[in-house]
Amino acid sequence: MMRMMCYATALGLVTLSPAWAQRPAPAPTKTAAVKPVSRPVASFWTSAEPTFDEHTYDRINGALLSYSAIEVRGGWPAVAKVNLAPGEKGSDVAKLRARIAITDDLPAELADGDAYDQMLTEAVKRFQARHGLPETGVVGPQTVEALNVPVGQRLKQLAASLDRLQGMGFTFGQRYVVVNIPAAVAEAVENGRIARRYVTVVGKTERPSPTLTTQITAVNLNPTWTVPLSIVKKDIVPKMRKDPNYASRMNMKLLDAQGNEIDPRTIDWKSDRTPSFTIRQDSGDSNALGNVRIDMPNPYSVYMHDTNHRNLFSADYRFQSSGCTRVQDVRDLAAWILKDNPGWGRREIDAEIATQKRTTVRLAHGIPVAWIYLTGWANPDGTINFRNDVYDLDAAQKPYIASVERPVKVSAARASGFVLQSDDPEPPLEFTPVSYLDSR
């Protein structure tokens, strides 16, 4: 059995140009400014608009022109750091109305006034949806913080996102999968529309998920997990010193170089010597990978998978993995991926997982997949979105100079990190990996 190690030595663009993809991304073209229509926006989670398609580059260019015009007009005023809710009136509400109208979340003709009415409530929800915030219609600390981000910073986010797309070389198929890391979201796109959208948990700031393009080749059910040496030394050994039964409780086995099982009681856990054994966690609900791993060969050996810490999906801050992408309801994604494989619907996947046997289902047709890092982008309907720069990659972005004639070209920051190691049913690409645990 081959071992596949998950790691990220650098956060950068990886292009594996596949012959199987169907529609090449077009060259950048001159783009008019994107101006959103003032109306209640659909919830991010129910919208069918994809984050990433053939025209994302041009739409970001248009958003840059739109926000550059706002900057020329003086940007927007800061709002008071106070909580505001529907039904309130006063000067703080008046400032909120004026601020939120500048970005077309509230129609310009409604900018005047000091009442927190239904129109303002819907405008706040629209603003929150565009910034990945809970769509409550109430202004709290997170919304105030997003409202007060200067227009210059929003321009930097758009320009940096545009730069990261340049040279990416992704070729869109009729069906493809996208993970937008700053949004901590995965999208399954089919015929240009969102077929599925999933909450994800992505890499920590010190162990970031990489950007890449490749293809999904297989779905592994009931995977095992081989603990990397670094975790054996830093995590498992200290726990075994405190609790000699820890490994057995976690369904972990100690194996020698020939794959023979070792009795944990024969190990001197107090020794500081480098362990001469490996530790493998058996399949099951307690496995760090959960019940499903989606294989996608790439130089970082990262992938999408289930988790035994599903509580993290409900958190607002979902940057908790060590580089791989954990997907909520990953069985549903697996069923969508395997729809061209006869006999592998959701019911069959659930039944196979219930057997607790390790099973690898290879795709009849590879599916393109891209992990992207967009902190600013525009949807096909004109909605301009922003997310926090969790990996601090936009900080090195050069100032944006608006230009209709030529696209922005700047250097993006890169960051190093480390991710998960696991067993893999197919030979990995040849790399020298460094791994850390992708679960708690």
Tens-place pLDDT, residues 17-57: 332 233 344 444 555 555 544 454 556 777 888 999 999 99
User: Taking 90 as the threshold, does the pLDDT of residue 341 lie above it?
Assistant: yes
Q: In this predicted model, which residue has the larger pLDDT, 45 or 213?
A: 213
User: Taking 80 as the threshold, does the pLDDT of residue 248 lie above it?
Assistant: yes
Per-residue pLDDT at 355: 93
Q: Domain map of the chain by residue range?
A: 226-281
Annotated active-site residue in 6, 131, 305, 309: 305
DSSP class of residue 207 equals: B
**Do residues 410 and 398 touch, judged by C-beta distance below 8 A?**
yes
Distance between CA atoms of residues 127 and 100, nearest Å:
8
What φ, ψ does residue 412 adopt, rounded to 5°? Answer: -90, 150
Across the range 127-142, mean pLDDT stands at: 95
pTM equals 0.79
327 falls in which pLDDT band (50, 70, 90)? very high
273 falls in which pLDDT band (50, 70, 90)? confident
Helix 56-72 to helix 151-165 angle, to the nearest 10 degrees?
A: 160
Give the residue among 255, 303, 311, 258 at the shortest CA–CA distance from 278: 255
Annotated active-site residue in 6, 131, 309, 324: 324
Distance between CA atoms of residues 125 and 42, nearest Å:
9
User: Taking 90 as the threshold, does the pLDDT of residue 395 lie above it?
Assistant: no
Token representation of residue 340: 């061209």
User: Taking 70 as the threshold, does the pLDDT of residue 334 lie above it?
Assistant: yes
Token representation of residue 21: 């993809």
Q: Is 324 a catalytic residue?
A: yes
User: Taking 50 as the threshold, does the pLDDT of residue 404 lie above it?
Assistant: no
Distance between CA atoms of residues 20 and 173, nearest Å:
8
Q: What percentage of the chain exceeds 90 in pLDDT?
A: 60
Q: What percentage of the chain exceeds 70 in pLDDT?
A: 80
Tokens 């509230």 belong to: 106
Taking 3-state DSSP, the helix, strand and coil percentages for the chain, each rounded to the nearest 5, stand at: 25, 20, 50
Return the exposure string of 71-106: e unless at least 16 CB atoms fall within 10 Å of the residue's CB, then b. Answer: beeeebeebeeeebebebeeebbbbbbbbbbbbbbb
pLDDT (tens digit per residue) in 81-104: 999 999 999 999 999 999 999 999
Quote the mean pLDDT of the chain: 82
Residue 81 CA: distances (Å) to CA of 70, 148, 229, 247, 338: 22, 9, 48, 50, 49
Q: In this predicted model, which residue has the larger pLDDT, 380 or 20?
A: 380
Most confident of 4-18, 26-40, 293-307, 348-362: 348-362
Per-residue pLDDT at 35: 53
180 falls in which pLDDT band (50, 70, 90)? very high
- The angle at the Cα of 103, spanning 100 to 109, to the nearest 5 degrees, equals 65
**Do residues 126 and 105 touch, judged by C-beta distance below 8 A?**
yes
241 falls in which pLDDT band (50, 70, 90)? very high
Least confident stretch, 30-34, 233-237, 386-390: 30-34
